[in-house]
Amino acid sequence: MRTALINGKIFCENQTFCQALLVEDHTILKTGSNAEILNEKNDTILDLKGKVVLPAFNDSHMHISMLGEILCDIDLSSCRSIKEIQQTILSFYNTHPNVSLLHGIGWNQDMLLEKRMLEKKDLDQILPHIPMVMERVCTHILTVNQAMIDQTLLPDSFDRRSGIAKENECVPFLKKVHRKSKETVCHHLECVTTHCLSKGITSLQTADMKEDNFEMLFEVYEEFSKQKKIRLCHQFNIEDPQKIDQLLKMKPENPEFHQIGPIKLFMDGSLGARTALLKKPYADDPGTNGIQVISDQKFEEILQYAKDHHLQVITHAIGDQAIQKVLDHYKKFQDTGNPLRWGIVHVQITDKALIDQFRNQNILALIQPIFLEYDLHIVEDRVGKDLASTSYAFYSLPNISLGTDAPVEQIDPMNNLHCALFRQDYAYWPKDGWNIQEALSLKEALTAYTQGSAFVQFKEEQLGKIAPGYLADLVVLDQDIFLNPTLLLNTQVLATMCNGKWVYKKENGL
């Protein structure tokens, strides 16, 4: 089957444009002018009528399971007071009266009228008999009610009075939240896929696999991959070598659509929760400099295992001390040039020396520009103006790929690109951008969102470009973002192609 797409503004390899392209089955056969493409044999012709066509987006770090939960469970991201959180929970319960546990994600104390953390007392006031787990937007902090505490074996460090758990204290609660049936996991995967295809995303690098769920998730994703609608790559948070061995023996039948990717580790927490690990105490909370989630010894044991078995590793590190530790540990074990493509996820708080070390070690940076929508309002308060001025260094960092960390932020490429280009929130503040010297151009950001993300997966020869021989993953937009990038926040996807087939078309679109 050959499909010719003509009369378009197509973003091709080497950041150039062409007018038309020819897709044969699941592969791009040729790009060029209308005349060149129409001179080739075709079965169907689609007139793009001048619309912009891009390589489909590849989110280099997100969480399908949690995004599925926020699409199907309680979404607290729009709540602006404790009372509104309570009302949102009650509204959900009234329409789901048979649930045995209530789970929500997305509250943020900085956005609340009360400017404080959600506490146990707030939950006990409304539904004291139903166990509840309500995660902060960063997912590194959560709040539970007394009913949940009563049925959970808890660490001594947990504050039973407030009901607030941080970092590793969250684990016993989340194990119960994530104890879902295959049917529920599959339903969440379907919901996330439909949502992402409507945003022009055909590849998801998802961090959901853990030691207690990897077998079930592999089975569900393996079956789902047969639909060939979206490409899924696991970033697995498994530290037990025997279980890693077990996972790696599970060979996906459709590796183009289901891939076992890197080991995913955690060095620290989040900036909003003040659990990101800093070299100096927080400027707005001198009593803490954050939390180190994994011991240095354990981290090095896993790196040694990864090196011995030729495995890729990516590590969550946000604070400058966390990033420093990861880079220093990597240096002890990585080979020259970083052939295993070890990387750091988030890379938010940096100074110039850290960026230089990043470049010298050739480490991958899996960044989320969309974090700036919220973080530009708090980062100077958290770490001070001097350190903030060298942070979120999108332009200076090497080997960048773009993701959203959804559902921590919206899985919306247009919003993500807006933050990468303009370093503003969605109200276009500040007027001239925040630390605008670290902004990316549109072409740089698109390349990082496509080729850069494919590079993380070792798939840069298959995905991320509109070029002959590459897989036909494309997105068609309703506006020309090259002519006017300020339109990004108001730009919609008209159609998405994955593997040569249209998997999404907007009603009354193309």
pLDDT of residue 340: 99
pLDDT of residue 297: 98
> How many CB atoms neighbour CB 227 within 10 A?
12
Model confidence over 358-412: pLDDT tens digits? 999 999 999 999 999 999 999 999 999 999 999 999 999 999 999 999 999 999 9
Model confidence over 103-119: pLDDT tens digits? 999 999 999 999 999 99
Model confidence over 304-363: pLDDT tens digits? 999 999 999 999 999 999 999 999 999 999 999 999 999 999 999 999 999 999 999 999
Distance from the first to the final alpha carbon of the chain: 20
Strand 493-498 to 501-505 pairing: antiparallel
Q: DSSP letter string over 469-505? A: TSB--EEEESS-TTT-GGGGGG--EEEEEETTEEEEE
pLDDT of residue 395: 99
pLDDT of residue 184: 87
Domains of the chain as residue ranges with CATH: 2-50+467-505 (2.30.40.10), 62-177 (3.10.310.70), 263-456 (3.20.20.140)
The pTM score is: 0.90
Residues paired with 28 in a beta bridge: 23
pLDDT of residue 181: 81
Instruction: State which H helix or E strand residue 173 sits in.
Output: helix 171-177
The series of mean pLDDT values per 10 residues for the chain, 510 residues long, is 97 92 98 97 96 99 92 91 98 91 93 96 96 93 96 92 94 83 90 97 98 95 97 98 97 97 98 96 98 98 98 99 99 97 99 98 99 97 98 99 96 99 98 98 98 99 98 98 97 98 90
pLDDT of residue 309: 98
How far apart CA 189 and CA 230 sit, in angstroms, is 10
Q: Give the tokens for residue 370.
A: 């969309």
pLDDT of residue 15: 85
Q: DSSP letter string over 266-298? A: ES---TTTT-S--SS-BTTBTT------S-HHH
